[in-house]
Every structure is written in structure tokens, then in C-alpha cells.
Amino acid sequence: MFRGAAGQYRLMATRLEERIRTHRNLMMQESWKDKKVREQEIANFSTFFVENYKIILTAQGEMKYFPPGAAAAQWKRQKKLIPNEIDQPEIDRGDISKLVGEFA
């Protein structure tokens, strides 16, 4: 149920990071002093915002149910929430097979 939404959010995060880098590089260029260039960048950002807003709405539509924060916190304390190694590579998982075996 959440896989599609997670994919949408990951795609959006990648697009946002690329957009931030492009904007930063544009600001460092001499052409940034030109008013027309800045106005075009504002128009481009408005389009970018609308597109990503639609992605957020689509992802939210795919997640019909999200557990309450208290339930998620309890699952985390009970080690029922296992970190995703793609999204959180910095977290030490120890022996993940033990954790999966306990809750499977």
C-alpha cells in the first residue's frame, strides 16, 4: 500500500534536490543580475511547485491509512519497524534476520 507512495516521494525528493542545485548554480552566474532571467526563474519555479504539489496529492491518495503517531512510536520501541536500508543506510541493523524472524 505504501510502496507506490514511497516511490512518489523518493522521485519528488530527487527532483527537488536537482532543482535546488540548478537554482544555486544559476544564482552564481553573472546572468542572474538580469531581471528577465530572475523573472523566468520565478515562473519556472511556479510550474515546478504545481507539478510537485500534484505528486504530493497523488502520493497521499495512495496512502489511505497511516497509523497514528503513538502506534508508530510503540512499534519502534518494540522494534517492529525495521529501517529501510535504501532510505536510511546510516542505521546499524545488526543481525536483521533475527529481527525479521521475531516478527514474521
DSSP calls for 60-104? HHH------HHHHHHHHHTT-SPPPTTT-TTS--SSHHHHHHHH-
Residue 27 confidence (pLDDT)? 82
Helices 3-28 and 35-62 pack at an angle, to 10 degrees, of 170
- Dihedral sign for Cα 73, 79, 85, 90, please: positive
pLDDT in tens, 71-88: 878 887 887 776 666 655
Q: Please report the pLDDT score of residue 104 as a whole number.
A: 41
pLDDT on residue 43? 86
Confidence band (pLDDT; 50, 70, 90) for 1? low
Strand (E) or helix (H) holding 13? helix 3-28
Predicted model pTM:
0.51
Output the pLDDT for position 82.
66
Residues 4-41: tens digit of each pLDDT:
777 788 888 888 888 888 888 888 888 888 888 888 88
Domain boundaries, the chain: 1-66, 68-104
